[in-house]
Amino acid sequence: MDPYQHPDRPREDRIRRWSTQVVPAAARFDYWMTAVTETCWPISQWRNVSTDFEVEFAATEVGCITSIGETISGHRARRTPYDVARSIERTYHLFANVGRKESARHCWAIEHLGRSERIGPGDLVLVGDGQHQTDIPDGFEGVILKLPTHWIRTWLPDPDVLAGRCIPAASRWGSVLSRFTAQLAPDRLPDAALPDEVLTDHVGSLLALVVGESEARSYAELEGRIGSILRERCVDPALAPADIARALDIPNPLIHSALGARGRTFLDALLAARADNAIALLASPAGSRLPLAEIARRCGFRSAGQCARAVRARAGLAPGQLRRSGRGAH
């Protein structure tokens, strides 16, 4: 066991520190490369590194998690396939832009798992152990939590659902996670009243809540896009979920997942779209003289009876009552 991390040592005595201030300017970058490889993971490609490059770095263990406090000058970095191949551990890193200096308030960018995100004040991002690229022109000050893959998967069966996506500080659970992660900074941990195991459980449970919130937000956005396509194409009597999936360029099961998250089926949504069209037509001057069978055909229904049932379920009135009332779709 690393003597720094012996559980009987006080938390303040378990903190390891690195600073480029203790080495000559010409040796600072190599010094940093050694520290980041030992503590986080290898990253071999660096650009836009200034001659006065500086890093202040502290790390300590919180149960199976490593908490890292970092202040670093502006730079661009890329973790390459070579870096991934020579990594000893399989981990995820949660980056939290929660530093107290003004420099931490600037946005920075990350590309990971085919996603490109901007990370602003208080925001977080989970990064897997694969390739990624960061562009941090104004420097970074914040907290990084190094999370073992086997541990995070007990909380998130598929962490890559979240990896590479900005976790906004403005979101409900993102806000809570941002504040809690700031409290796990190495220099603040000695004041933490909770045992390590409780602190790590809090991290895992908050990540799970963030995923749930993110999925709900994504599903709500996707449901809106599905609704737009349905309204455009619901007159096709043979319209199927696969047609909507192709139009949106997404897997077919996502159609059902997005609608199911709101307690709806594809048939529910399709009939509602057709019923709205029928209701509008029934209440319009142009449709006032059309037989119900013709209205049903124009709206994609297979029969007048199916149209009448859908209209009644949607509007609370039979087609004839709608004609007389002149009410449109609600």
Cα separation, 216 vs 219, whole angstroms: 5
Six-digit token pair at 52? 């006065």
pLDDT band at 327 (very low <50, low <70, confident <90, very high): low
**Of the listed ranges 87-101, 151-165, 294-308, the one predicted with least confidence:** 87-101
Section 91-107 average pLDDT:
73
Cα–Cα distances in angstroms (integers) from residue 266 to residues 158, 296, 326, in the given order: 26, 19, 29
Section 68-72 average pLDDT:
93
Cα separation, 298 vs 236, whole angstroms: 9
φ/ψ region of 65 (left if φ > 0, alpha if ψ in -120 to 50, else beta) reads: beta
Could you tell me which of 169, 130, 151 has the C-alpha nearest to residue 208? 151
Six-digit token pair at 72? 């670093």
Cα separation, 28 vs 81, whole angstroms: 25
What's the pLDDT score for residue 147?
Answer: 97
Section 149-160 average pLDDT:
93
Which domains, from first to last, does the chain contain? 3-217 (2.60.120.10), 221-325 (1.10.10.60)
Cα separation, 76 vs 46, whole angstroms: 6
What's the pLDDT score for residue 6?
Answer: 52
In the predicted model, is pLDDT for residue 152 greater than 50?
Answer: yes
Six-digit token pair at 146? 């190094």
Six-digit token pair at 103? 């420099």
Cα separation, 109 vs 206, whole angstroms: 23
pTM: 0.69
| pLDDT per residue as tens digits for the range 112-126 | 999 999 999 999 999
Cα separation, 286 vs 226, whole angstroms: 28
φ, ψ dihedrals at 324, nearest 5°: -70, -35
DSSP state of 164: T
In the predicted model, is pLDDT for residue 99 greater than 60?
Answer: no
Q: Where are the beta strands (DSSP E) in the chain?
A: 16-19, 45-47, 55-62, 65-72, 75-79, 91-96, 108-112, 115-119, 124-127, 132-136, 140-148, 166-167
In the predicted model, is pLDDT for residue 100 greater than 90?
Answer: no
Cα separation, 191 vs 213, whole angstroms: 30
What's the pLDDT score for residue 220?
Answer: 83
Q: Say if CB 323 and CB 282 are below 8 A apart.
A: yes
In the predicted model, is pLDDT for residue 52 greater than 90?
Answer: no
Six-digit token pair at 284? 């319009």
| pLDDT per residue as tens digits for the range 173-229 | 999 999 999 999 999 887 777 888 999 999 999 999 998 887 777 788 889 999 999
Section 140-157 average pLDDT:
94
Cα separation, 311 vs 296, whole angstroms: 10
